Amino acid sequence: MRMANIHERILCSLADLSDGDARTALNALELAIDAVPVDKDGVLHLSLLARAHA
Q: What is the pLDDT of residues 4-30, one digit of tens each?
A: 888 888 888 888 889 989 999 999 888
Domains: count for the chain: 1
Candidates 6, 20, 16; CA nearest to 48 is 6
- pLDDT at site 1: 63
Which residues span the domain enclosing 32? Answer: 3-53
Residue pLDDT, tens place only, 24-53? 999 988 888 888 888 888 888 877 654 444
| Residue 53: predicted pLDDT | 46
pLDDT at residue 48, as a whole number: 67
Are 47 and 8 contacting, i.e. CB atoms less than 8 angstroms apart? no
Note whether 24 and 18 are within 8 A (CB). Answer: yes
Task: Report yes or no on whether pTM surpasses 0.75.
Answer: no
